[in-house]
């Protein structure tokens, strides 16, 4: 699609959204445009967004969140610092708020995340643990949280970001104290607590074939051989225009599918060096379309989640100074060319 056509289409969609035409789960029944979720459902996929508790007071934001998507991921509300701020003292406030909102909107939840090296509470990181002690702490945390949300979530990102770029294990608290077996243990404990939730390993920079994705492939083979309850691999897909598109994404998704695993694009955003230009927004739109087409081409790629849907609440500017404009809606909640490209990739021809 040319830049001119993308700009025209983006303007048209903005007008339709402002008029209330392009939103709503019953869009087709009322002669309105189908949502991203409805378009994805035609292919047997979901289309989701992450969200976070502070932004849920923004009613214009929550209206789009509740209508355009059918899968929600809590960005921070289920992480360890939020759910077990003191040892043995659990707080479900933030996670419950998002789960309840999703249920009100007839959406499912990708729960995120049980085991990570980041955003851990001080009581966990400020002391040394024996392997026996830490193993007990980890098991209790996983099983307590998974049981709390049993029957309320579609899946769990059980272990997040376990490998370095070169394919070696990341030197986390868990790895250094428990060894690589903590991953299999975490999956087993989560499955015991909720046998029906889909269990994922999740990471960034594994979209293309390479050392890091090879490490996950080898681990997945091993876990499957040992009958560990692993259901899928999450490809975060935090991409940046200046580093190039992961051209081997479809092949990579396919090889994990051949292991009998689901795959999903779990935290998608496509950032750029600011200022945003028509050319960069057009390239970004093409990337969003290509990501979507890659998922649709692989039967066991089950869905796509953007890491929040609007630049208004993107994490990018705070972590990558001088970069941003990474999401399909801008800071005013107006759809960008990427939104139009997503709809086209999902087969919309209106």
Give catalytic residue positions. 161, 267
Q: How many CB atoms lie within 10 A of CB 45?
A: 22
Packing angle, helices 131-148 and 182-193, rounded to 10: 30
Residue at token pair 């560990």: 228
CA-CA distances (angstroms) from residue 36 to 65, 112, 313, 323?
11, 22, 19, 26
Element (H, E) at 224: helix 211-225
Task: Quote the CA–CA distance of 264 and 176 in Å, as a whole number.
Answer: 29
First-to-final CA distance of the chain? 14
Cβ-contact 265, 223 below 8 angstroms: no
Strands (E), the chain: 46-51, 71-74, 108-115, 155-160, 198-203, 232-235, 238-240, 262-273, 301-306, 323-324
The verdict on whether omega for the bond into residue 275 sits within 30 degrees of 0, i.e. cis, is yes
Cβ-contact 72, 107 below 8 angstroms: yes
CA 124 to chain centre: 26
The verdict on whether omega for the bond into residue 277 sits within 30 degrees of 0, i.e. cis, is no
Map residue 244 onto helix, strand or coil: coil
């Amino acid at each position: 699609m040319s830049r001119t056509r993308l700009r025209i289409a983006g303007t048209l969609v903005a007008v339709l959204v402002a008029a209330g035409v392009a939103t709503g789960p019953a869009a087709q029944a009322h002669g309105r445009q189908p949502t991203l979720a409805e378009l994805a459902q035609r292919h047997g996929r979901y289309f989701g967004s992450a969200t976070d508790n502070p932004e849920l007071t923004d009613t214009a934001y929550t209206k789009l969140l509740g209508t355009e998507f059918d899968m929600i991921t809590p960005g921070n509300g289920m992480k360890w610092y939020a759910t077990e701020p003191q040892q043995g003292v659990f707080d479900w406030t933030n996670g419950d708020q998002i789960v309840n909102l999703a249920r009100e909107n007839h959406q499912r939840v990708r729960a995120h995340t049980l085991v990570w090296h980041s955003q851990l509470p001080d009581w966990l990181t400020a002391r040394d643990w024996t392997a026996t002690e830490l193993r007990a702490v980890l098991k209790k945390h996983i099983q307590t949280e998974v049981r709390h949300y049993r029957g309320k979530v579609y899946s769990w990102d059980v272990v997040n970001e376990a490998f370095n770029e070169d394919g070696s294990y990341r030197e986390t608290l868990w790895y250094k104290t428990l060894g690589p077996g903590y991953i299999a243990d975490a999956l087993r404990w989560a499955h015991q607590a909720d046998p029906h939730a889909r269990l994922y390993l999740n990471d960034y920079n594994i979209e293309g074939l390479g050392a890091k994705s090879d490490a996950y492939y080898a681990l997945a083979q091993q876990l499957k051989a040992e009958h560990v309850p692993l259901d899928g691999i999450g490809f975060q897909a935090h991409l940046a225009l200046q580093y190039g598109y992961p051209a081997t994404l479809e092949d990579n998704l396919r090889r994990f599918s051949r292991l009998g695993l689901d795959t999903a694009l779990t935290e998608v955003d496509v950032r750029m060096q600011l200022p945003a230009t028509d050319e960069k927004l057009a390239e970004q739109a093409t990337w969003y379309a290509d990501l979507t087409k890659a998922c649709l081409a692989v039967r066991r790629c089950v869905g796509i989640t953007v890491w929040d849907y609007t630049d208004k609440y993107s994490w990018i500017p705070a972590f990558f100074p001088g970069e941003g404009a990474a999401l399909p809606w801008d800071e005013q909640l107006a759809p960008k060319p990427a939104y139009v490209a997503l709809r086209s990739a999902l087969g919309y021809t209106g």
